[in-house]
Amino acid sequence: MKASIQAAVFGATGYSGFELVRLLSRHAGAKKPMLVRRNGESGGCADLSEAYPQLLGNGGFPLESFSWQRMKDAGVDVVFFATPHEFSRELAPEAIAQGFRVIDLSGAWRLKQADNRKVYGFAETQAQVELDSSAVYGLPELHADEIKSATLLANPGCYSTSIILALAPWIRAEYVDVEHGIICDSKSGVSGAGKSPTAKTHFVEVDGNFCAYSVFGHRHTGEVLEQLGLDSGSLQFTPHLLPIPRGILSTIYVKLARPATSEELEQTLREFYAGKPWVRVFGAARLPQIKFSLNTNYCDIGFSLSPDGKRAVLVSCIDNLLKGAAGQAVQNMNLMFGFSEKEGLQ
């Protein structure tokens, strides 16, 4: 395969940005990515290998000053924003106006409903609201056809990915008693909070600790509601911070709308994800664990069924920096430009 796609990456110095650069640099259909320094971004490094020595020996990854013209001259096809929400909200419309396709890893464009977007506190212009309606939610297992032609691709949140992929097959098959309510109890490694240190993510606060946070107010809640067609009263999502670097495990509790067997529920999952290379169904025989999907682009899904066949517990695991961020972004790029979904991710 001849390398043909030229990507530009904003936010390469962050954890997700670094993973994105690492994946793109080994992608057979992509040229070495152009790394763009954000306006106002001071200090830091001149080459990404200074911050991430893992990249040494690959010919250098210089961070260039931001310029749309420079990006055009470099033949950029797609722009990745691994940046804060506010930056993507401002720059993505400009990138599209310049003729670039955009894959945004932030939460800037994921939500269709204005009430759900309020959690981000965006000041919304008419142009931004119009882009909200046209942005494609980049969950390949649910929206592959729309992703292929997307101009603005909103990469899903990490928690959202683990929850939506676990629940979608059973909800669409009407196995879940939605009115009874769904409980999503999710745990993430510290890298999910980003690279900038805070008092809550400092080593001495996290090590040996385990805590819930953003109860009734996490930004990913709206994504789950919109993608699964739920109302806010049907879902309780509580995120927790694990004292590990990376990985997510979501434990999801549901009451079934009708009694079912393990075989029926497992078959529903397997049929739904047939031909979807980055979802592994464990079924009822063995529950996923974080270490199984760590450093991969897999979402692992398993479940346990109560003896009476009326209640079930789903367990879903992903690597928050890969299937929950950079890996899924490359999977989306593959669909947008006609590559195999596996390219660059194996």
- CATH code at position 287: 3.30.360.10
> Do 133 and 239 share a domain, yes or no?
no
What mean pLDDT value characterizes the chain? 93
327: enclosing H helix or E strand? helix 326-336
Q: Smallest Cα–Cα separation from 253: which of 161, 307, 173, 177? A: 177
Note whether residue 342 is domain-resident: no
Residue 290 burial (CB count, 10 A): 20
Position 166 pLDDT exceeds 90: yes
For residues 331 and 266, state if they share a domain: no
Quick one: pLDDT at residue 282?
96
* Any domain includes 345: no
pTM of the model: 0.94
On whether both 170 and 151 belong to a single domain, the answer is no
DSSP-based three-state secondary structure for 323? coil
Looking at the fold, whether 142 and 175 belong to one and the same domain comes out as: no
User: Could you tell me if residue 125 is inside a domain?
Assistant: yes
- 26 lies in a domain? yes
The residue ranking higher by pLDDT, 199 or 232, is 232
Please identify which of the residues 45, 158, 184, 299 carries the catalytic annotation.
Answer: 158
- Non-local (6+) Cβ contacts of 204 within 8 A are none
**Residues 58 and 134 placed together within one structural domain of the fold:** yes
311 CB-near residues (< 8 Å, 6+ apart): 253, 254, 255, 256, 305
In a domain, 48, yes or no: yes
pLDDT at 101: 98
Statement: residue 344 has pLDDT above 90: yes
Domains contained in the chain, number:
2
pLDDT at 269: 98
Let me know whether 183 and 213 are in one domain: yes
The residue ranking higher by pLDDT, 316 or 54, is: 316
| CA-based max dimension of the chain | 64
Question: Given this model, what pLDDT does residue 45 score?
Answer: 85
Rounded mean pLDDT, 294-320: 97
Q: Are residues 202 and 313 in the same domain?
A: yes
Q: Is residue 25 domain-shared with residue 57, that is, in the same domain?
A: yes
Is 158 one of the catalytic residues? yes
Ramachandran region, residue 99 (left: φ > 0; alpha: ψ -120 to 50; beta: rest): left
Asked if 58 and 185 sit in the same domain, the reply is no
Cα–Cα distance, 202 to 221 (Å, whole number): 25
How sure is the predictor about 1, in pLDDT bands with cuts at 50, 70 and 90?
A: low
Q: Is 42 domain-assigned?
A: yes
Query: What residues pair up with 5 in beta bridges, in sequence order?
Result: 30
What domain range is 32 assigned to?
Answer: 7-155+325-336
Going by pLDDT thresholds of 50, 70 and 90, the confidence category of residue 41 is: low
Report pLDDT digits (tens) over 75-112.
Answer: 999 999 999 999 999 999 999 999 999 999 999 999 99
96 and 162 both lie in a single domain: no
The answer on 107 and 21 residing in a single domain is yes
Q: Is residue 177 part of a domain?
A: yes
pLDDT beyond 80 at 162: yes
The answer to whether residue 42 scores a pLDDT higher than 60 is no
Instruction: Report the CATH number that the domain containing residue 21 is assigned in CATH.
Output: 3.40.50.720
134-143, 145-154, 193-202, 245-254, range with the lowest pLDDT: 193-202
Please check whether residues 165 and 86 belong to one and the same domain: no
Residue 346 belongs to some domain of the structure: no
User: In this predicted structure, what is the pLDDT of residue 118?
Assistant: 87
DSSP of 119-141, one letter per residue? Answer: GGT----HHHHHHHHHPEE--HH
